[in-house]
Structure 1
């Protein structure tokens, strides 16, 4: 019998969060990214940590994680929320920590939906594994057992045939269930799909836009010279809230100016500040957002 206790890939495929994290950490080791995860409310909350911001660049890291998870195809896991931040000391309640203050705790957060494997291929794989396991004797081949095999060879053949027939019957039932589901499920899908498709399209559109929101004249920010970090965060929050509706070149230019202002304020955080290292990272991050907003402004002109 195949030893499933030490088969990490199989455990990850069955939905074991610990096994999934082990595989992710092995595959991301070269990039210097470490992961932790919790399955909560139907979503796999994934935390990615690294020593510097370059290792946590959003687009390539998200693509790499999605590719790894879809190759694992974990059962009962479809939605994955990827969170990233500079590495910190071990926190047992890290999900509660980032949920209470996402803007200050994270560099970015991005939710993905895993593509589910073809149901027919999955059934074939499950059947192949079951047949392979059933076809193997479950005892070690000691001298005594080899003698027993020779004596009872025909008996074992009959038992193996019975097991294989049982596996074939089980697979047939699964296939029949899938066919019934496909026929009846289409009626349900026809009712649900329009609204779900609309929701996914809206979400995809928002995610594809750079989150470089606009500050309107009414959104004034009181800047305190005693706390440049807090002021910069407030400006960035306002920018982040307004940019989701930005469409014109003028709006994108105003966004770029706000991000630049937030970056400039972050660069003035003194070294004795308890979040000085994070301020250095945010200075560069806000600057990149400002440059991206300027690019969007040029696109809007054309």
Structure 2
């Protein structure tokens, strides 16, 4: 069985933003380009940074990124906005900052739409993946005797194979066309049933997950402002504590939250900012 937990390409295909970032960075590292990404409002926002302007040549970079993403074919991601700028110190809320001052922040920006993967090719990939994971459960057949083998003509075998292929193709087409609607309908039905029996508990858990994400953002915003004026060791230590608290809150966001993937990325970033602030505090004591 294939170990899908460590298969970054497979995770990126499933739509994991963290895995997409890793694949892009591993591919573009020789070009001197570093990628950061956030999925917001149905658009995968990419920030491309490099030390030199020539490393961010628009037509070449856009074409390369589009080829990489279309080879991955991330699920539920079609619109991608590519932003570029000269590398600078990491900013926590970079998407908010470039949206506020796009002309001053960016060299260029371009939105692209990823091509839909070929249905037959995608069917083959998913079929192979199912076999690799041992998830393809075919019905058990009774032993075939020699006389049975003689009675099985090539025409019958081809008809069976063709019928199975058509059935799989039809299932895939139905899934691509109506899969999201059916999934949303099932999720809505499950949510309604669950809410009927556990209304108070569901509301409490939803409030907690929302509060955890929102509280982390509020603390991070305060820390971002405080970091611009911090000079003393005490101020840097307070800043480190704020970043660590924001990281812990993001880490507490449950997988059911709509921005769970973003919360994972932010949790790691906040932790790095906390470590940086601690280093600055140590420098200030010298």
Larger Rg: 1
TM score, norm. by length of structure 2:
0.50
TM score, norm. by length of structure 1:
0.47
